[in-house]
Amino acid sequence: MIRYDDIVIGSGISGMTMSLILAMNGHKVLLIEKGPYIGGSMARFSKRGIPFDTGFHFTGGLHKGGILDDILSVLDMHDGIEPVFMSDDDANSFVFENDGKRYDMPYGIEKLKLRMKAYFPEEACGIDSYFDKVQNVCKGTPSMSLGTLLNKFDPLQEDYITCEEVLTGITANPVLKALFSTFAMCYGVKPNEISFANHSRISYGLYESVARVKNGGAAFIDAFEAKFRQYDVEVRCGCHVTGMTEIRENMAGRFILNTGEEISATNCIFTIHPKEVLKVMPEQQVSKAFRARVSAFEPSAGCFSIFGVLDPGFDEPGYGSKLVTLLPGTDFNQMLDPFNEGDSALILVKTLEQVGEKKHKVIVAIEPSFPEQVEAWKDSQVGRRPEAYKEYKEKKVEHLLNRIYKYFPGYRGKLSVSDAASVLTFRDYLHNNDGSSYGVKQKIGQFNLRGRLPVKNCYAAGQSSILPGVIGAMMSSLIVAQSLVKEDDYAKFLNRRPRR
């Protein structure tokens, strides 16, 4: 029997990052994926030869010296990942659907402040105060930079105050407050539930720069696969752990697979949903309190997505250079409420996808959605859903298209919908517990699963452990890997900056 140093469970961006870090540090690694292919939310799918991204559309941190740029340097992965920056003058347009008022936001914090002050001259002090607070949180958080990642982290005052409280203290203007809150869409938690610190940590990168990546999530998967070949990471798809055995002194000696095979490993790192982790922890090793804590974790928002393509002849100057978000109102607490019966924010991600000689104008429209909204069909599986579910999807697509046509009337008759996905689609393809887009809710006062678990050679990383998004998920692996690689070796590893 092969003995591995580490088994990594789940091959999303967290599991791929974790596997590579460990392999680059000399460990023998087995990466296990329940689905038929690796990549998790990074995976693309194709319809009639046109590729669509599912869970990775844009990110911050890819500018020179940004956090994601640094992570790619340490992993020596720049070659495969080509950033496509959005227009730095109006990367993000926010349109309020009730009065049609549009706010075009650049990136770069100083430019952003100037633009906001031009829109809201009477709120200049509040705007400065907001960005100072966001920057202070990020400066005070060691994991916001690889140079300080190993420093001790003491929670900040802002970890105990909700985003809502801080914003209310800064401004009474509901539109400005909404514009400060917009990146709640990138973590799927209401402003009155998330801490201002976590709101800042996630939003900061997107204030600094906004980029897509050429070939989207597939570029990451391809780059990781090449590295896995270089560092001998073994990958098994269609595989999951069903239990643990040879438990001695709170450590598992072997991990049982769905195939019945038993794998021997020193450590096992879970990068999957915490409730899925709970299912494989031996009953006797898990206290009632631990079980209750994990069972009580609430899901972040999920998404309803439409995947469409514009007619080849349709012309739009600057296509693909900015994100547009349609806002039905200013109240993000309402828009991110599972029982909200009205519309929610709708992000339109437009990309030019090159296939052979042709460039396709792709649109992915994403609206927050919740398990509660598809409760009636929760027991159905992908490919075998009842008619009523199909009708729900059709109605939803029609409604979202009408919202899009109201703002982009030229798209009517030119936009063909290739597919649509609900919370249940994401749940089933990503093998997660509830279809949430960002894992467990980042809720103030809640201690998510991170690092060592009750079985002491098992660890938790992934989007639910630190922060969601590609950066948060990769950082979770960089943070948890500290416990698995020798201290001096790890410090050297984090400092390496191979060729650029």
Ligand X SMILES: Cc1cc2nc3c(=O)[nH]c(=O)nc-3n(C[C@H](O)[C@H](O)[C@H](O)COP(=O)(O)OP(=O)(O)OC[C@H]3O[C@@H](n4cnc5c(N)ncnc54)[C@H](O)[C@@H]3O)c2cc1C
**Which residue has the CB atom at the shortest distance from ligand X?**
12
Q: Does 336 contact ligand X by CB under 6 A?
A: no
Binding mask 209-248 for ligand X (x = CB under 6 A): -------------------------------x--------
The smaller minimum CB distance to ligand X, of residues 58 and 204, is found at 58
Rounded Cα–Cα distance for residues 122 and 462 (Å): 42
The smaller minimum CB distance to ligand X, of residues 25 and 41, is found at 41
Which residue pairs from 339-348 have beta carbons closer than 8 angstroms and sit at least 24 positions apart in sequence? 339/372, 343/97, 343/367, 343/403, 344/368, 344/369, 345/182, 345/185, 346/400, 346/403, 346/404, 347/57, 347/185, 347/323, 348/323, 348/324, 348/404
The smaller minimum CB distance to ligand X, of residues 24 and 349, is found at 349
Q: Does 265 contact ligand X by CB under 6 A?
A: no
The smaller minimum CB distance to ligand X, of residues 193 and 276, is found at 276
CB distance 415 to 404 below 8 Å: yes
Please identify which residue in the block is written with the tokens 């801490």.
Answer: 195
In the region spanning residues 78 to 117, those forming contacts with ligand X, defined by CB under 6 A, are none
Q: Does 434 contact ligand X by CB under 6 A?
A: no
Q: Does 11 contact ligand X by CB under 6 A?
A: yes
Binding range to ligand X, per CB under 6 A, among 65-73, 246-254, 380-388, 423-431 = 423-431
CA distances from 438 to 19, 284, 311, 370, 392 (A): 21, 30, 32, 12, 23
Q: Does 203 contact ligand X by CB under 6 A?
A: no
Q: What are phi and psi of 8, to 5 degrees?
A: -110, 130
Instruction: Tell me how far the alpha carbon of residue 176 is from its chain's centroid.
Output: 25
Q: Does 67 contact ligand X by CB under 6 A?
A: no
# binding residues, ligand X (CB under 6 A): 38
Q: Does 143 contact ligand X by CB under 6 A?
A: no
* Closest approach of ligand X to the CB of residue 142, in Å: 21
Q: Does 32 contact ligand X by CB under 6 A?
A: yes
Rounded Cα–Cα distance for residues 165 and 189 (Å): 15
Q: Does 40 contact ligand X by CB under 6 A?
A: yes
Q: Does 58 contact ligand X by CB under 6 A?
A: yes
Tokens of 105: 């936001």
- State the burial class of residue 129 (Cβ atoms within 10 Å of its Cβ: 0-12, 13-18, 19+): middle
Rounded Cα–Cα distance for residues 403 and 178 (Å): 19
Identify the residue among 183, 462, 475, 481 touching ligand X (CB under 6 A). 462
Rounded Cα–Cα distance for residues 16 and 81 (Å): 15
Q: Does 322 contact ligand X by CB under 6 A?
A: no
In the region spanning residues 351 to 370, those forming contacts with ligand X, defined by CB under 6 A, are 366
**Where does this chain bind ligand X (CB under 6 A)?**
9-15, 32-35, 40-42, 55-59, 240, 271-272, 276, 303, 305, 366, 426, 430-432, 437-438, 462-463, 468-470, 473
